[in-house]
A = this chain, B = another copy of it.
């Protein structure tokens, strides 16, 4: 598939055949909607610089999605489905032009019941959360971009985030109930995938059909207080984080650990985190707050900021300094900063300490405690002071040589991510739902070679 293969006559025919559906051709807007947050990576910025769709289509409902899928199939035009474009791997960037299918008009919260919700693809995570909380429930997990990110975008391009310390990752059994998917065929089918079947489409970067609806289990809502704890010693902060993460009696939603000088990038938080101090940013259920202090004391920490659940609804949100918002804040202060995504070996924190000491401020340690696949983990989203591509590769290699798995955020290939392979179930399902290989082409090494 090559962009030059898309004849403008085909594009015109496509546009004519979907009359009444919003089509964007304005070059600036098309360019903007061909982007995501791969800009965190200087490597991807270069590689994806000239990648842009020919047009953007914004269907308003499932019927319009079906029409677009039918027409794109008929005219063999590549389709890159887009939520809010908050991904960091270039998931939403069309490598071969064609159509960006923007789901942002599909904003219906279809229903919210105790413990379960069903929504259209483009619903913002924060919007669902607000509705769910009225019933005493909430989203189980969300990326730090929850205000703008869409649910189908999260399902297709994300893996977990704030809340994963309690519920594990989106791919862990139990965190997703059903997906409605439109196939990319001349006569598109509507598939309802339920239960374990959903995994054929989750985290597949939009190569496996167009998600139009998502049904997901909710978590019981807790009143979440926000807390900053500072530590003079980094490894104390890490051990504190691990103990807190392990304490099943302490209910928490977020345990992020930030080595100095990272907190200095958090302009609004700087007054709570003295220079040279390491910080834990926490979301803790209010009934667990009192018992947190024993643990803080044990690791010689200081609680410098505490916001009740009531207050936490207003003003700054600690959640928006965690996960990849950390990287965002750092890059706002210093655009040369980039990052890694790492899984450390299960070695009782030794490798984390080694990397922390080995790289000093060149690779600034940022850990997020989560549960994944039934176990505790503390993936790193380290900030890297970027100099050259060669040096970045050296840094990655050094980590890999020490048993650290790097889910490379400097590649747009699925196979460089968390699983270091494309899911065979994804491939099998793709043959069925995208027979012409039109969906987000170029993102899979395996598919590119076949």
Question: Which residues of A approach B to under 8 Å, CB–CB?
Answer: 114-116, 136, 140, 166-168, 172-175, 177, 194-196, 217-223, 243, 246-251, 285-288, 290-291, 293-295, 371, 373-376
Given contacts A220-B221, A290-B195, contact A249 B115 (CB under 8 A): no
Closest chain B residue, CB of each to CB of A199? B294
Task: State whether B220 touches A288 (Cβ < 8 A).
Answer: no
Decide: A115 and B285 in contact? CB cutoff 8 A: yes
- Find out whether the CB atom of B290 lies under 8 angstroms from the CB atom of A194: yes
Residues of B within 8 A of A247 (CB): 168, 172-174, 374
Cross-chain contact of A220 among B168, B222, B246, B373 (Cβ < 8 A) = B222
Known: A140-B249, A196-B294. 8 other contacts (CB 8 A): A114-B223, A166-B248, A168-B248, A175-B249, A177-B291, A246-B374, A248-B371, A248-B374
Q: Judging by beta carbons under 8 Å apart, are A248 and B294 in contact?
A: no
> Inside 8 A of A376's CB, which chain B residues have their CB?
374
- Contact partner of A217 (CB less than 8 A), chosen from B136, B168, B175, B249, is B249
Number of copies of this chain that the complex holds: 2
Give A342 to B172 CA distance when docked, in angstroms. 30
Residues of B contacting A175 with CB < 8 Å?
Answer: 249
* Interface pairs (8), CB distance under 8 Å: A115-B223, A172-B249, A174-B247, A177-B290, A195-B290, A217-B249, A246-B373, A248-B371
In the bound complex, residues from chain B placing their C-beta under 8 Å from that of A374 are 243, 246-248, 376
Q: Which residues of B contact A375 (CB under 8 A)?
A: 246
* A174 and B217 contacting across the interface, CB-CB below 8 Å: no
- Looking across the interface, which residue of chain B has its beta carbon closest to that of A113? B287
In the bound complex, CA of A440 to CA of B229 (Å): 42
Contact A291 B222 (CB under 8 A): no
Nearest opposing residue in chain B for A285, CB measure: B115
Closest 8 CB pairs of A and B: A174-B249, A220-B220, A246-B374, A168-B248, A115-B287, A175-B249, A174-B250, A196-B294
Contact B173 A249 (CB under 8 A): yes
Taking a contact as CB atoms under 8 Å apart, the answer to whether B249 and A167 are in contact is: yes
Contact with A222, one of B115, B173, B177, B295 (Cβ below 8 angstroms): B115
Q: How far is the CA of A222 from the CA of B168 in the complex (A)?
A: 18
Question: Which residues on the B side are within 8 Å of A114 (C-beta)?
Answer: 223
B-chain residues with CB within 8 Å of residue A243 when the two chains form the complex:
374
Give every chain B residue within 8 A of A295 (Cβ-Cβ): 173
Residues B250 and A173 in contact, CB atoms below 8 Å apart: yes
Residue of B nearest to A115 (CB): B287
| Most chain B CB atoms below 10 A, which of A115, A173, A371 | A173
Cα-based distance from A114 to B195 in the complex (angstroms): 33
CA gap between A373 and B115 in the complex, in Å: 28
Instruction: Compute how far the CA of A230 lies from the CA of B74 in the bound complex, rounded to whole angstroms.
Output: 50
Decide if B115 touches A195 in the complex (CB within 8 Å): no
Q: How far is the CA of A172 from the CA of B220 in the complex (A)?
A: 21
Task: Determine the chain B residues whose CB is within 8 A of the CB of A246 once the complex forms.
Answer: 373-375
A166: B residues at CB distance < 8 A: 248
A140, A248, A288, A376 pick with most chain B CB within 10 angstroms? A248
A19 → chain B, closest Cβ, in Å? Answer: 40
CB proximity of A289 to chain B, nearest CB, Å: 10
Q: Which residues of B contact A167 (CB under 8 A)?
A: 248-249
Roughly how many angstroms separate A376 CA and B374 CA in the complex, as a whole number? 9
Residues of chain B contacted by A168 (CB below 8 angstroms): 247-249
A291 to chain B, nearest CB (A): 5
Chain B residues in 8 Å Cβ range of A140: 249
Q: How far is the CA of A287 from the CA of B139 in the complex (A)?
A: 13
Complexed CA–CA distance, A217 and B247 (Å): 14
Set of chain B residues within 8 Å of A116, measured between Cβ atoms:
287
**Distance, CA A31 to CA B426, complexed state (A):** 68
Closest to A284 in B: B174
Which residues from chain B contact A218 at a C-beta distance below 8 Å? 287
Q: How far is the CB of A282 from chain B (nearest CB, A)?
A: 13
A206 to B220, CA, bound (A): 35
Chain B residues near A290: list those with CB within 8 A.
177, 194-195
CB of A122 to closest CB in B, whole Å = 23
